[in-house]
Each structure stands twice: as C-alpha cells, then as structure tokens.
Amino acid sequence: MKIAKTIAIILLGIGHLAAEITVDSIFGSGMVLQQGQIIPITGTVTGGSKSVTVQFAGQNVKAEIKGKLWRAKLQPMAASAESRTMIITQGDSDSLTLDNVRVGEVWLASGQSNMLWRLNQTGDRNAIASANHPQLSFYHNEPQIHTSPRPYTDKEKQMLKNGEMYVGSWAVSSPNSAPRMSAVGFYFGRKLQEILGVPVGIIHSSLGGSEMMAWMPTKVASKKYRSCLTPKWLESKYMSAWVRGRAAFNNKGDIRAPHPYQPTYLYKTGIQPWENFPIAGVIWYQGESDAEIQDMQQNANLLQDLITGWRAEWKAPDLPFLMVQLPRIKDNTPLRAYWPEFRHVQTHVADKLQGVDYIVTTDLGSTNSDVHPPRKLEVGERLANLAAAQVYGKDTPASGPRVKNVAIEDGRVVLSFEHAAELKTTDAQPPRHFELAGKDGKYHPAEATISGSQIILTSPQVPSPVAARYAWATFLTPNLVNEHNLPAAPFSPEKIGK
C-alpha cells in the first residue's frame, strides 16, 4: 500500500516535477478570473532566474522575477464562457498548464458555521444531483482543524502554529464537487450565474463559531486592537464567554497555544492569500458569536473596521459587502439574548458604509434552538438578488420593506416604508411584532394597520408615543412582506454613537 501510494503521488505530481516552475495554490484549472480588472498571476521559480511568461486569452505576458518569486499581470478581460488554457512557461521549455479557465464574476464567501454549512448537510439531494453547472466554479477552503468540544492533539497544535488551517483547490460545479461546498455560497453562485449569464466563481473560507476579531486584518488589529495581540487574548473584552470557553477547552488551558479564534488568525490563513486576487464582492454570514456581547458600539466598530480593513487590503474602497442579518432562533439562553441588538448593528453599519447591505432572514431562522437554520436556499438566492440589484444594476426584487420615515401625530405613529409598493401580510392577519414606547422608554405591543405603503400604530398602553420599533425579539413569527413576499426589516430608533 505504501509503495502504491508513493507511485500515485509521483504520477499526480509529474507535470509539476518536470517543470521548475510553480503557480501559487490559489490558481488552478477550473478557476474563474474577475472580468474588467488587471489579474496578477504569481508563483515561484527554481534553478535560477529564467524568464517566465503567461499565455492566456491572446495575451503573452512576461513576468517580473524577484528572487524565486514571479508575477505576471494579465490586462483586463471581458467575461467569457469559453473554456481556455493558461500556459505558464519558464525559459524555453519548462511549462505548466491550467485548463478550463474562464472570465466572469468572482465573489468571496466567508463567516462562521452557517456559511460553512455544506450543501450535503441541507438534505437538498436534487441540488446535488443536478449540480452540473459548467459556468459555476468554486474554491472551497477546507478547514483542517475545527473547534468541536475536544482537546487538540499535539499534531493539531503544530499545524495551527504552522498556519496549516486550510487546504483547497478550484473545482467546476458537479455532483461530485458540489456536496462539500458552502450551501449559501453554492445557491448564491448558481442564482447569480443564472441572472448575469456569465461565469461565476465562489471563493469560500469560513469557520464555525468564529468572531469578527479572528477575521480582522493584522494591520487593523495592530492599530486599533493591540491589546488582543498578546498571549492573553482570551481575556480581551472582545471575546465572548462561549468563545473563551471553547478555546480554553480545545487548548486545555494553555493560553499560549495557537487557536483558530485568536485575533487575525483566520484572516491570515483563510483570507490574506487572496488579497491580490481581484474579486467582485463579499458575502458574509457571521455574528452569532459576537452577538453574545451586548455592546452595540463595540460590535459596530468591529464590523465597520473589518469591512474597511478588507477593502483596504484589496485596494478597493467600495468593494461590495453583503451580509446575512441574523435570523430568528427560539432560544432564551443568555447566549442568544442580544440578537436584536446585533441585527441593529448590521443595519447601522449598512446605512453608514457605501456598498454595504444586508438581507433579512427573520422568517427563515430556526423554530427551535438550533443555531443552524435549515433553509439555506432562500438565503443564497436573496443574496444573489441583492447583488444583482445593488452591484449589477439589475431590475431584480432584492429587499423587503424598510422604514424610511417616522411621523408621530394625535397619539399614533405612522411608519412610511421604502421597497414596498404594497404592504401585506402572509396570513391575512394584522402585522405582528410592532411596539410603541412613551417618554418612560418602556415598549408595549402596538396594533398595526396597513395603509398603502404605511403602517399606522396605536396602543392603549401608550397614549402619547415617542418611539416605535419592529421585530425587536430573538424569536419571531413575522408576517409583514411587500408585493414580492420579501420580509420587512427589523427597525428600532436605538442609537449607536459614532
């Protein structure tokens, strides 16, 4: 068995061994390159600084070589569904080829376990069986070490120390390659490709339970969160109680041992290798761990710094960043108590930063305490519709009703909505989950009446209202939608300082 395995390795690697040139692992056969942008292709050479050229789509580009590193820049290309070959040559003869390379739209999918949740965990056998989508490719970064409740082995600790967190490669969508793909990423990519009619590539890199600090670029952390970059990072106020407990258990109390939740670790291992790979935008499903911390200002700062930090590293100040707003969950434990606050944080940051938006999923979440809602299809497709509308200018229904104006008159509150030519309920009952508060700041349930694109609120308990809010609860059974049956966004006048 050992001999056979060795021979297999030699045969698999012979194409690369025969050449003295390699291409960085983020590139590969089946990949999609971002249209309309300069594309750096990078790798290493051995045996001296020979010339390196990259041939693709009619371009023949000579690379710059510094030491053993080379870089060639392909000029911007239009989208093309044509399967083409990229030939990388060193000197006169050493070469390697990457097949089935296409040009289109590339998106990065990241976050925690709900983004990591695989297609084969959804029970959607039809999606897997019909996953032959030649114009959809994905690069799945497979976590080599998870944070399940068990102590890490010495081997795992060494892997973490070496930064060996992810292993991945490009694959064209098929029934064989799709099952381990992020379900949200798969559904997003499939729908976006259908809408745009061009090749779509999804780069996936996420990890269950991870907080924002683990995904923070080192440059940002070094400037704004230096107290986290010490062996005592678990004692930081940015670490939730759940994260502290899990990391301590994994590392058996060894505070100096590396851990995936360590600030900047997941960025360095799962995101940083892609900084020079042009992308169209980011889809982000995360927040369940950070939401355990009630501090809205802190979470807003973290989320804003993460987004602007990623944009800075990609040198794309308006890089689209589309979030999944936290869904509902029927869990009254302290771990989930501040989900309404975190939804509000996501809304606040989206309102503040250009090119940042979110989809509402309060109607899709769990009706029990399962933190992994099963309905990933709607999540992925809502994200794709949002991207189509906000990024590509398509006339695609992408948002449910959102409050745009609040008027208080004669003991009632009138809420005016955007993204709502028509307001209605899914069950022909009055809209649920509206509340009013008087000067004492205490909220009481309100009676809601639909009037065109407005909601009129009254409450006998609040004869002189000064504030209104909607869907401010961990668990909800919302019924308010627009003409496209998209759910209304949670709303609150709660202020987040700066």
* Contacts (Cβ under 8 Å, ≥6 apart) of 54: 41, 60, 61, 63, 72, 74, 86, 87, 88
pLDDT tens, position by position, 401-440: 999 999 999 999 999 999 999 999 999 999 999 999 999 9
**Same structural domain, 370 and 475:** no
Residue 140 in any domain: the answer is yes
**184: its two tokens:** 């949200």
**Same structural domain, 94 and 113:** no
pLDDT tens, position by position, 133-156: 999 999 999 999 999 999 999 999
Which ranges of 141-199 does DSSP label H, i.e. alpha helix?
A: 154-161, 183-196
CA gap 162, 52 in Å, rounded? 30
Residue 496 in any domain: the answer is no
Domain containing residue 48: 2-102
**Same structural domain, 63 and 168:** no
| Residues paired with residue 137 on neighbouring β-strands, in sequence order | 172, 201
CA gap 374, 370 in Å, rounded? 9
Q: Say which amino acid occupies 448.
A: A
Q: How much is the pTM?
A: 0.94
Q: Which of 76, 102, 128 is the C-terminal boundary of a domain?
A: 102
pLDDT tens, position by position, 316-346: 999 999 999 999 999 999 999 999 999 999 9
CA gap 149, 151 in Å, rounded? 7
**Same structural domain, 323 and 344:** yes
Looking at the structure of the chain, the number of domains it has is: 3
Higher-pLDDT residue of 104, 67: 104
Residue 129 pLDDT greater than 60, yes or no: yes
**369: its two tokens:** 């305490």
**Same structural domain, 318 and 225:** yes
Q: What is the CA radius of gyration of the chain?
A: 25
Burial bucket for residue 64 (CB in 10 Å: 0-12, 13-18, 19+): exposed
Residue 192 in any domain: the answer is yes
Residue 374 in any domain: the answer is yes
Which ranges of 171-217 does DSSP label H, i.e. alpha helix?
A: 183-196
Per-residue exposure over 477-489, b if at least 16 CB sit within 10 Å of its own CB, e if not: ebbbbbebebbbb
CA gap 217, 266 in Å, rounded? 9
CATH code for the domain of 150: 3.40.50.1110
Beta pairing, strands 80-90 & 142-143: unpaired
Q: Say which amino acid occupies 176.
A: N
